[in-house]
Amino acid sequence: MNNNNVIDIKDIKVHFDIKRSLAQDIIRKNKIILKAVDGVSFSIGKGEILSLVGESGSGKTTTGKAILQLAPLTAGSVDFLGEEVRQKDKAFMKRFRQNAQMIFQDPYQSINPRNIVLDIVAEPLDVHGLVKTEAEREEKVRIALEQAGMGPVEEYLYRYPHELSGGQRQRVVLASSMILEPTFVVADEPVSMLDASIRTGILRLLLELRDKKELSYLFITHDLSLAWLISDRIAIMYLGKIMEIGKPDLIIHKGAHPYTRALTAIMPQPGVNKRTERVILPGETPSPIEELKGCKFSTRCPIAKDICKEIEPLLEEIERGHFVACHFAKEI
């Protein structure tokens, strides 16, 4: 374990039992298990942005929630600043909750429509009992809103969410997440529901906060081109597994997993006029309920062989800092 790492996760799994009717139980005696996250390991250093990229349903959000203990771990461990996260230790969990925050995807659902902006942003302070007076509470909210680019603050303190635009709502969510001055933030598709012009401002703000406070981010996105622009490393996820992880340029220009290459083939690149044919993957992503032997990507992989359908490849380092889970990574 690297002492500079803020987060170390090792072989975490999040499995859910699927509820069935009595008739289904009689027909099928074995439990139906949905493997949302199925053995994921990575670390995030101080001030680092690791982007987790994949299709919808690949397990990205569940991974982020599992790290923050918002989804129950079936197996594996999460270390925060060198200590294993212990849910039963109330004192530890209180410190962990203050230092690890989440920015949710939908700013229209992640804040209470009945509260004014002042109370929304101050809620973490109230929950943790960190302020003693109303004046101190309001001052901290003002500072958080200013850092989130909500100025002049007086115009927003007493507004309700329905009086704000989508970009303003997301800035309120950011202010609420940052008011405790966390060390680690899970940003779950924080700009996917915003217009392109507003998106740029939010991303710039996230990067500025990272530089000022040495924040570490797990940035969850389906947009590989966005991950390329803002990340220190990129992890490619498919059906609950990490397929490839490495520096952005390695992933984009030297991707060694067939799934990564399919994603980069359809990715727009500034100044590049692509004339090559796009890689179209056959079939659909299998259900995470299905029991698949071997590599989970083998059902759609254009180069899959018999070994791929029998033996699951391990995530191995093919060059410094570049890890791939593919039997034929070095050949690619």
- The C-alpha angle 51, 52, 56, rounded to 5 degrees, equals 135
Residues 169, 59 within the same domain:
yes
Tell whether 65 is covered by a domain.
yes
Tell whether 303 is covered by a domain.
yes
For residues 245 and 235, is the Cβ–Cβ distance under 8 A? yes
Residues 219, 136 within the same domain:
yes
Q: Find all residues with CB under 8 Å of 95, minimum gap 6, and list them.
A: none
Tell whether 116 is covered by a domain.
yes
Per-residue pLDDT of the chain (332 residues), as tens digits, is 566 899 999 999 999 988 766 555 555 566 788 999 999 999 999 999 999 999 988 999 999 999 999 999 999 999 999 999 988 889 999 999 999 999 988 888 889 999 999 999 999 999 999 999 999 999 999 999 998 888 899 999 999 999 999 889 999 999 999 999 999 999 999 988 778 778 888 899 899 989 988 999 999 999 999 999 999 999 999 999 999 999 999 999 999 999 999 999 887 665 555 555 566 777 778 888 878 889 999 999 989 999 999 999 999 999 999 999 999 988 87
Residues 69, 170 within the same domain:
yes
- pLDDT value for 289: 83
How many domains are contained in the chain? Answer: 2
By three-state DSSP, how is residue 53 classified? strand
Nearest-angstrom CA–CA distance, 326 and 315: 8
289 CB burial (10 A radius; 0-12, 13-18, 19+):
exposed
Nearest-angstrom CA–CA distance, 231 and 248: 7
Q: How far is CA 286 from CA 151, 208, 240, in A?
A: 47, 39, 11
Nearest-angstrom CA–CA distance, 276 and 262: 12
Residues 125, 92 within the same domain:
yes
Residues 87, 138 within the same domain:
yes
Question: Which residue, 188, 215, 231, sits at the end of a domain?
Answer: 231
Query: Taking Cα atoms as reference points, which of 297, 274, 295 lies closest to residue 284?
Result: 297
Residues 310, 214 within the same domain:
no
Tell whether 243 is covered by a domain.
no
Residues 153, 268 within the same domain:
no
Residues 170, 301 within the same domain:
no
Output the six-digit token pair for 314.
């391990």
For residues 237 and 42, is the Cβ–Cβ distance under 8 A? no
Question: Which residue, 197, 231, 265, sits at the end of a domain?
Answer: 231
Residues 138, 280 within the same domain:
no
Query: Taking Cα atoms as reference points, which of 227, 248, 220 lies closest to residue 67?
Result: 220
What residue type is assigned to position 171 of the chain? R
Residues 219, 158 within the same domain:
yes
Cα end-to-end distance, the chain, whole Å: 30
Residues 182, 71 within the same domain:
yes
Range of the domain at 269: 256-332
Residues 227, 262 within the same domain:
no
- pLDDT value for 198: 81
Exposure b/e, 68-101, CB count within 10 A at least 16 = b: bbebebbebebbbbeeebeeeeeeeeeebbbbbb
Tell whether 32 is covered by a domain.
yes
Tell whether 237 is covered by a domain.
no
Where residue 100 sits, what CATH number does that domain have?
A: 3.40.50.300
- pLDDT value for 1: 52
- pLDDT value for 241: 95
Tell whether 247 is covered by a domain.
no
Tell whether 250 is covered by a domain.
no
- pLDDT value for 25: 58
The overall pTM is greater than 0.85: yes
Question: Which residue, 215, 231, 247, sits at the end of a domain?
Answer: 231
